Structure 1
């Protein structure tokens, strides 16, 4: 009996340890054709530092910061997708420079287990004029008043609705505006810039 209890305890302990060290998939749901929403805050700690980047619940992303031919994930629940969401958030927020956001992308892919070949290919892809345009387009859209943050309550409503495959970013945001689902512009986390600077420094120190 004692032996059986010990075995059960060891199995449970092993499962707990695996759960603690294994990265979890991002909390994201699909809303339309290439459109996703963060359904729970997505938190990324940069390597072994105390620097954290948090993508808030209700952020809508079309992942336009990464050219679609370079999408490397297979489904919205693939944990490697977290890096793309964080990158798109930083491109939209614009607190961090493009260089810093791209460095965060590379490090996040690395920590998510994306292969060296793939992450280098994706990184080089966002360093082209396509990436420059995505960053500039977001700046222009924000200047015109576009808002990509939904309220928590409205986010929950959308999560309970069937996915409309034909929906695009424009139609989703227009519907959210009609239904009072747009949130106030998210406040910039006080340490976001510090986190991005740290990421860029780590990226450069690794000799890339």
Structure 2
């Protein structure tokens, strides 16, 4: 297998899945998997190519922005970044991340034995918004809002098992 087509210094590659608006007119269901592939150098580690996949069937609301604030930041304005952020929050960081190991003959994507932290999830949210062209002021407002107000959502779901070996 050859390496995924993602050169150093370029934005990540994100898929925009088909979605269905649910009857409550507030949530959406993914009809296809959503994936994001990016280059990253973890602290104390070597640079690698990583992938996060949100499976078809996942339900999300794009962003939990209070309706009175929609004139400034409507949920849809934050783009696909909200899908990945909602996925990580819904699972309290217990989402499998894959790392490209294609240099080894017969290898491809391998699971990374580390769960996401809330800070990691919020940083990915900011990165995806930037790469998707969300204006800086809107990204900043959304990032500060999740840092200030979303901790309780993460904490209620935090029943994390020990990381895989």
* TM-score greater than 0.5 by the shorter chain: yes
The CA distance in 2 between the partners of 1:35 and 1:138, in whole Å, is 19
For structure 2, the 5+ residue unaligned runs are 1-12, 41-47, 95-115
Question: Cα–Cα, structure 1 residues 24 and 91, in superposed 2: closer, same or farther, change >3 Å?
Answer: closer
Q: Distance in 2 between matches of 1:106 and 1:67?
A: 16
TM-score for both structures, normalised by structure 2? 0.59
Greater radius of gyration (CA): 1
Q: Equivalent residue of 2:133, what SS?
A: coil
Higher helix fraction (1 or 2): 1
Output one character per residue of 1:141-175: Cα deviation in whole Å (capped at 9) or x when no partner.
x9xxxxxxxxxxxxxxxxxxxxxxxxxxxxxxxxx
Partner in structure 2 of residue 133 of structure 1: 152
Change (3 A) 1:120 1:137: same
Residue deviations 1:38-94 (CA, integer Å, cap 9, x gap): 110001112575111110011112346x434343525xxxxx521001000000122
Q: What does residue 41 of structure 1 align with?
A: 33
After superposition, the C-alpha distances for 1:7-63 in whole angstroms (9 at most, x for unaligned) are xxxxxxxxxxxxxxx966342221123111111000111257511111001111234
Which residue number corresponds to residue 16 of structure 2?
25
Q: How far apart, CA to CA, are the structure 1 residues paired with 2:31 and 2:156? A: 25
What do you get for the CA RMSD once the two structures are aligned? 2.8
TM-aligned CA distance change 1:62 to 1:136, over 3 Å = farther
1:60 has 2:59 as partner? yes
User: Does the CA-based 8 Å contact 1:46-1:107 persist in structure 2?
Assistant: no
Unaligned runs of 5+ in 1: 1-21, 75-79, 143-187, 191-208
2 CA distance for matches of 1:24 and 1:55? 10
1:45–1:51 CA contact under 8 A, matched in 2? yes
Contact between 2:61 and 2:75, CA under 8 Å: does it hold in 1? no
* Structure that is richer in strand per residue: 2
SS at the partner of 2:16?
A: coil
Q: Which has the higher contact order (CA 8 A, sep 6+)?
A: 1
Change (3 A) 1:25 1:51: same
- TM-score computed with the length of structure 1 as normaliser: 0.48
Counterpart in the other structure of 1:200: none
